[in-house]
Amino acid sequence: MITDRYAVKLTHSMDTSDPEYWALDSVLTKEEAKFMLSFGKIRKPYRVEELAKKNNITVEHAKELIDHLCWIGVVEMNRENPEKEKQYNVPIFVPGSAEFMMMNDRLTDEHPHLASFFNLMTQVPLEGMTENIPLGGAGVGMHVIPVEKAIETESRSVSVEHISHWLNKYDKYAVGICTCRKQQTMRGEGSGEIGGEFCISVGDMAEFMVDRECSRYITYEEALEILDRSEKHGFVHQITNVDGSDKIVAICNCAPGVCNALRTSQLYNTPNLSRSAYRAHVDREKCVACGKCVEVCPVGAAKLGQKLCRKDGSEVSYPLSELPDAVKWGPEKWNPDYRDTAKINCYDSGTAPCKTNCPAHLAVQGYVKMASEGRYMEALRLIKQDNPFPAVCGAICNRRCEDACTRGSVDQPIAIDEIKKFIAARELEADQRFIPVCEKDDGGMWGPKYKMAVIGAGPAGMTAAYYLRTRGYDVTVFEKDERPGGMLMNGVPNFRLEKDVLEAEIEVLRTMGVEFRCGVEVGKDVTIPELREQGYKAFYLSIGLQGGRKAGVPGEDAEGVESGVAFLKRVASGMSADGAEAAVKLPGDVVVVGGGNVAVDVARTAARCTSGRVTMLCLESAEEMPAARDEVEDAESEGIVVKNGWGPKEVLTENGRVTGIVFKRCTQVKDAEGRFQPQYDENDTIAVPCSTVLQAIGQSAEWGALLEGTKVELGRGATVVHDPVTFQTGEPDIFVGGDIGHGARFAIDAIADGKKGAESMHRFVHPGQSLTIGRDRREFIQLDKENIALPDYDRTARQAPGHKAGDPKGTFHDLRLPLTEEQIRAEANRCLGCGATTVDLNRCIGCGLCTTRCEFDAIHLTRDLPEASNMIACDNKIGPVAKYAAKRQIKILLNKK
């Protein structure tokens, strides 16, 4: 009687192994099952008195049975009669009794298999049927309702497509938990969208849910607030679609990775099941490939591509998903990986190189475009969606975005970092800083039951703290030094990164509510097991590589030999109050060993601490040096001599103190496979007299007792062994990021790690969440720069920043000036606008979330599919389904011919 599977219903073929049987058998007594039979096969409501008479029992006993059946969720109440009296009916399973049962925590605690039942009832009844569902859904399940702001100016819209229509139709509202989120959590397949109050019941359903103690009444204004917050967090509005065109019972705010309705339509690759009458279209001229619409698209219809044509003048075309309209459909056409394919960000043919090559994949084209329009605060907000330290990166980033910039194939790349630096200058003014909203998905904060610990206040750790806080967590950052910042504070010299810039961006975290505990060494002052006892649920290790490496040559233990890292820390700790002068002084000439950016920082710092000469020697040739070319040029402009192709052989000493260092000719740095394997000519040597040798040939881990009592494993270079996607270590509640996870890289790499680590920690602390299902891995492909036709473009030369007057070697202050506002606009207009979003119209469900993320008016909804607004009662679905199926079969036959 109750099954939604028509084949089973008509053939009476159900047995005890079917989910409808075992689910109801576990929650109903025989008396209750017999009582429910009195409702009959047609969904018809009855008053208590009618049911008492049909079952030959007292009204009191009938009321007792009904109350319990309503509590279970297999009977539903409404007041759809002239007297507005309570009456009862047996609903379908989905949306209906399976969901009602899932709302009842006591029931699901006793019968956890109900989660599997709910999941099965969204799919099993539709197998072999989904391809025959016409637009409008034919009374099956749910119907997507667009974001109202996205269709306000659409003259052809109809009332059923507006959330306001449904809210205004009813006078009672209640909010309760999302059963889909709960179900997937119980099944261990959550995708990070944690349960909470998301589902709004309306009218009689609101009363029914409150009576069952599964919901609470809310006001109209509270309902609007829930809907608005859901849009901000990327949830899809859907209404129930089983009662025809004049009635709904709920408005859901659906999480794409767990929503049964969206999951089912995506699994079977049949969007007709739930799509709205709208589809998204991109204005390519306005689109700047920021990718924010792509990130929020619940079904993967929006992806990044390229705007520029190929050399032959043709536009790159993008495939449309196949639909079952005119082809045979079966399991081979389904999409079992729908949750992961919905998170593929770009097409194989690629998109803008700047976004692709940035480790944090910033919306470069987006903030450059905003800068050209003078929208600086909006640009800052856009940047901080992916990078909470734009001012820091504006000062020290190694600019991989610029290295890849398509404009660089024409003349010179866009000065992306200078533009970011100008935008981020607002962080220096407390009243202009962007402070993000911090809340969990349904509002409020998680509180002390979900405390997060970050160990190490470098760029990776502080980034993790930033994004965890935006998701509503209490976050404590433990730092063994007396001030946060890690190597940004204690290693990068002031002339590259003024500390007031760093402190301003750290202050944003404090304003957000992140707690810093400095001067606390975890493993010594407090242990990880002790922090667990204090209630911390997950840990992020980001202590960086604090030690220096030795070359392994004779004499390197002599007085006057020091690691470059230790030297930089010593200088940073002894700076004058104004940050212009260092207390550390070096006697005589200095030799710096190494060819990376740290070595350049060491050499330039040494030049400010000695009156002698500074010489820098490294294995690599000038072309192979890992240091940025402009950094090397700055060093040379300050009188530092750079000698390439030399490796240390021996430190010369006298009475235990350095007097010089001998180098041998390096004939090869890497082998044929690109592995580091230097070869030397031992007979070709030079001796360089000096009083100080600073070794900047690599960094090492300094663990102390931090890992005692944990199962964290160390690998090459004493870095942490971890999962490359989730950053989880051998200890499930410990995650890792930054240099201590993969070796020495750059601040932007650590920032990218921090955001990924925060996502994993968020999922980990909530039972039932997968660390990988539906995860946006943010993988991008660069377009083919060798096969593009350049449009007419602004031929302005690259803008160069000025410098303050003064001798660079005479101060530790940064003498670089930012670009002027006029220069910023000129430089931003040089951008070729390589990338653009493209929408797969066959996959789009018309939710409108993409429009809420676009800051460029580049994506809009159009009412392409008016028939999708047709809502019919589920009891009447056979006719529309049969009619559509017949038309579809004719098309299939014609296609075969």
Q: 859-892 pLDDT, tens per residue?
A: 999 999 999 999 999 989 999 999 999 999 999 9
Which amino acid is present at 864?
Answer: D
- Which range has the worst mean pLDDT, 119-133, 270-284, 528-542, 843-857? 119-133
Please, are residues 380 and 337 in contact by the beta-carbon 8 Å criterion? Answer: no
Task: Report strand pairing: 173-177 vs 215-218.
Answer: antiparallel
pLDDT digit string (tens) for 390-436? Answer: 999 999 999 999 999 999 999 999 999 999 999 999 899 998 899 99
Helical axes 114-123 vs 179-186, angle rounded to 10°: 120
447 alpha carbon, distance to own chain's centre:
22
625 alpha carbon, distance to own chain's centre:
34
Residue written as tokens 């990130």? Answer: 295
Please, are residues 494 and 579 in contact by the beta-carbon 8 Å criterion? Answer: yes
Residue written as tokens 């506002």? Answer: 821
pLDDT value at residue 10: 85
Comparing CA positions, the residue from 771, 772, 750 lying closest to residue 465 is 750
Please, are residues 566 and 548 in contact by the beta-carbon 8 Å criterion? Answer: yes
pLDDT value at residue 788: 94
pLDDT value at residue 141: 87
Instruction: Using alpha carbons, list the distances in angstroms from residue 439 to 60, 445, 513, 540, 805.
Output: 47, 5, 11, 20, 46
Instruction: Tell me the CA end-to-end span of the chain in Å, nearest whole number.
Output: 42
How big is the chain, counted in residues? 897
Mean pLDDT of the chain: 95
Please, are residues 117 and 23 in contact by the beta-carbon 8 Å criterion? Answer: yes
- Give mean pLDDT, residues 337-354: 96
pLDDT value at residue 153: 83
pLDDT digit string (tens) for 449-490? Answer: 999 999 999 999 999 999 999 999 999 999 999 999 999 999
**Sign of the four-CA dihedral 40, 43, 45, 48:** positive
* Token pair belonging to 606: 């040494």
pLDDT value at residue 220: 98
Exposed e or buried b per residue across 853-866, where buried means at least 16 C-beta atoms within 10 angstroms of its C-beta: bbbbebbbbebebe
- Give the percent of the chain with pLDDT over 70: 100
Taking CA 894 as the corner, what is the angle to CA 892 and CA 897, rounded to the nearest 5 degrees?
A: 115
- Region of 718 on the Ramachandran plot (φ > 0 left; ψ -120 to 50 alpha; else beta): left
Helical axes 459-470 vs 499-512, angle rounded to 10°: 30
Q: Does the structure show a pLDDT above 80 at 42?
A: no
Please, are residues 248 and 202 in contact by the beta-carbon 8 Å criterion? Answer: yes
Q: Does the structure show a pLDDT above 90 at 305?
A: yes
DSSP letters, 418-440, are HHHHHHHGGGGSGGG--------
| Whole-structure pTM value | 0.96
* Token pair belonging to 568: 């930089």
Which amino acid is present at 736?
Answer: V
Which amino acid is present at 577?
Answer: A
Please, are residues 287 and 845 in contact by the beta-carbon 8 Å criterion? Answer: no
Task: Report strand pairing: 699-700 vs 547-548.
Answer: antiparallel
Other Cβ atoms within 10 Å of 893 Cβ, number? 10
Using DSSP's 3-state secondary structure scheme, residue 887 falls into helix
- Give mean pLDDT, residues 7-19: 90
Using DSSP's 3-state secondary structure scheme, residue 536 falls into strand
Instruction: Using alpha carbons, list the distances in angstroms from residue 742 to 329, 699, 753, 766.
Output: 46, 12, 10, 27
Q: Could you tell me where the DSSP H helices lie in 653-803?
A: 739-742, 747-764
Q: Does the structure show a pLDDT above 80 at 897?
A: no
Cis ω on the peptide bond leading into residue 95 (within 30° of 0)?
yes
Q: For residue 518, report the phi and psi dihedrals to the nearest 5 degrees.
A: -90, 160
pLDDT digit string (tens) for 363-377? Answer: 999 999 999 999 999
**Sign of the four-CA dihedral 98, 101, 103, 107:** negative
Other Cβ atoms within 10 Å of 158 Cβ, number? 14
* Token pair belonging to 69: 């059946």
Eight-class DSSP state of 305: E
- Distance of alpha carbon 116 from alpha carbon 129, whole angstroms: 21
- Give mean pLDDT, residues 113-141: 93
Comparing CA positions, the residue from 281, 323, 285 lying closest to residue 302 is 281
- Distance of alpha carbon 419 from alpha carbon 422, whole angstroms: 5
Give 790's pLDDT tier (boundaries 50, 70, 90).
Answer: confident
pLDDT value at residue 329: 94
pLDDT digit string (tens) for 709-752? Answer: 999 999 999 999 999 999 999 999 999 999 999 999 999 999 99
Residues 6+ positions from 100 with CB-CB distance below 8 Å: 72, 73, 74, 76, 91, 212, 214
Eight-class DSSP state of 866: G
- Give the percent of the chain with pLDDT over 90: 91
Residue written as tokens 């079969």? Answer: 889
pLDDT digit string (tens) for 67-97? Answer: 999 999 999 999 999 999 999 999 999 999 9
pLDDT value at residue 181: 98
pLDDT value at residue 485: 97
Cα radius of gyration (the chain): 32
**β-strand partners of 548:** 699
DSSP letters, 315-344, are PPP-PPPP-TTSS--SGGG--TTHHHHTT-
Q: Where are the beta strands (DSSP E) in 288-343?
A: 302-306
Comparing CA positions, the residue from 92, 332, 337, 32 lying closest to residue 873 is 92
- Distance of alpha carbon 289 from alpha carbon 308, whole angstroms: 12
Give 157's pLDDT tier (boundaries 50, 70, 90).
Answer: confident
Using DSSP's 3-state secondary structure scheme, residue 453 falls into strand
Comparing CA positions, the residue from 590, 586, 645 lying closest to residue 617 is 645
Q: Does the structure show a pLDDT above 90 at 767?
A: yes
pLDDT value at residue 125: 87
